[in-house]
Amino acid sequence: MAQHSIKAAPDYLPIGFFSFFRHFFDLFTIKTFDLWIENKDYTMQLGFSCRALFEACMCHYNRKDLVVATTPLHHTSFRNILERFVKPENIHIIEFNKDYNGIAKIPDINRCDLIVITHLFGQDLDLSVLSDFKKKHNCIIIEDRVQGGTLDKKFSNEVVDISIYSMGMDKKPIALGGGFMFIRNKYQELIEDVKRTVETSPTEKLRKRFGDLLKKVPTYFFYNSRLFIAFFFDIFDIVGFFNNNVSLLKFTKSYRTKNPGFNHYNYMLKPSNALLKSMYKNLDNYKKMEALYTRKYRIFYDSFSPKLLHKFFPWNRGDPVLTPYNTILMEDSLVDQFLEFLTENKIPCITNPTYKMFNHSYEGDQKHKKFNDGIVYLPSPAIMKQKEIKFLAEKIEEFYRIQNL
């Protein structure tokens, strides 16, 4: 039985063992916490999740003729919220450049109320190109910066009006739940509306918070414990030896689908004091995470020649990659072969579970679909040893040679 050379999953929780279980003690807090923090230039609003805060913004701007310009890829919940609030014909796509790390084309439209941007792959898009468009239409720019750049900045660019963040189980900063956003203070009506929406939402029950934490316990071990991962792989190999229907790829996909770590539905809640305490304690705990991701990804990317680096990670500009997700771009027609190749080499992998396109068609959607369908999640470098990172890079290069790409 071949030994697993990589003891890591396609995700990682940036939190230590004892820190993880301390969140259970927050369930017993008797303190109350503010739902917002006012600063000189912006207001920080805390919420049950990033999607709840985004929907609170959309409720403020809700009207039948709302016109939105937006990037083509979003997290499922953000995509679904946009499709609920905006007619398909009023959603206009901002085209990515060929490397998917910048904006190539802004829609030529007569009116625009909102611009919604989703940053990808742990780095910020350059949004300065939207400055003239924003002035022309006097519109608001909202950014989903959950997968964006460093949190040393509140907004990725001066043109942004609202930036949204998650504190979920694999995010930064991490509180095993919750989210927050920054709104520039010149939008006082919006701020008051969002405050009212969050404050008047049903309060998260303590039993729900406890249940959500409990569900994350096995996920913590699957993603963070090298000893547990090694033990699980050995058991999985034994079961697979006797049952050909057992597949590491199928299990990884199934587990990720059933345990995303957040609520796709029923998320319009007011965070409990237990969740708020966890959030307040961890708002500044991102620096070590960013340093870890920067160091590990540098090892991974430095293992490739410039040609292969651009082929498999075209979005990489040399900026720090500040996410646990290790994404690679494969030709969409080769994704199944690539997944099979990795699985045969006992490397956990999964097809793109994060980004989704809109359900309606638009100009250029085949290009974006081809890109989105070619994304594969590799084991996260955050937990991998250097020799494992090098081994992963070698196997990717081997697949490249086999396919004569």
Distances (CA, A) of 90 to 65, 83, 105, 136, 333: 8, 10, 17, 18, 32
The tokens for 58 are 């959309």
Beta strands 68-70 and 91-93, pairing class = parallel
Q: Answer yes or no: is pLDDT of 67 > 50.
A: yes
Residue 192, pLDDT above cutoff 90: yes
Confidence (pLDDT) at 196 = 97
Q: Which two tokens stand for residue 304?
A: 């490739």
Under the banding of pLDDT at 50, 70 and 90, the label for residue 3 is low
41 Cβ partners below 8 Å, 6+ apart? 184, 185
Tally of CB atoms within 10 A around 22: 14
* 241, pLDDT greater than 70: no
CA distance 120 to 296: 18
Identify which of 209, 208, 230, 212 has the alpha carbon closest to the alpha carbon of residue 221.
Answer: 230
Pick the CATH number of 29-200 from 3.40.640.10, 3.40.190.10, 3.40.630.30, 3.50.50.60: 3.40.640.10
pLDDT of res. 362: 79
Tokens of 175: 């509180």
CA atoms within 13 A on the CB side of 261: 25
Q: May I ask the CATH architecture of the domain 216-260+283-403? A: Alpha-Beta Complex (3.90)
Residue 1 has pLDDT above 50, yes or no: no
Summarize pLDDT for 100-142 with one digit per residue, the tens: 999 999 999 999 999 999 999 999 999 999 999 999 999 999 9
CB–CB of 171/144 below 8 Å?
Answer: no
pLDDT at 339: 95
- Residue 404 CB contacts under 8 Å (≥ 6 apart), including other chains: none
Going by pLDDT thresholds of 50, 70 and 90, the confidence category of residue 53 is very high
Average pLDDT for the chain:
93
- For 375-405, what is each residue's pLDDT tens digit? 999 999 999 999 999 999 999 999 999 987 6
The band of 216, judged by pLDDT with boundaries at 50, 70 and 90, is: very high
User: Residue 105 and residue 70: Cα distance in Å, rounded?
Assistant: 11
Per residue in 254-280, pLDDT tens?
777 777 766 777 899 999 999 999 999
Residue-range domain boundaries for the chain: 29-200, 216-260+283-403
Cα(29)–Cα(87) distance, integer angstroms: 44
For the chain, percent of residues with pLDDT exceeding 90: 83
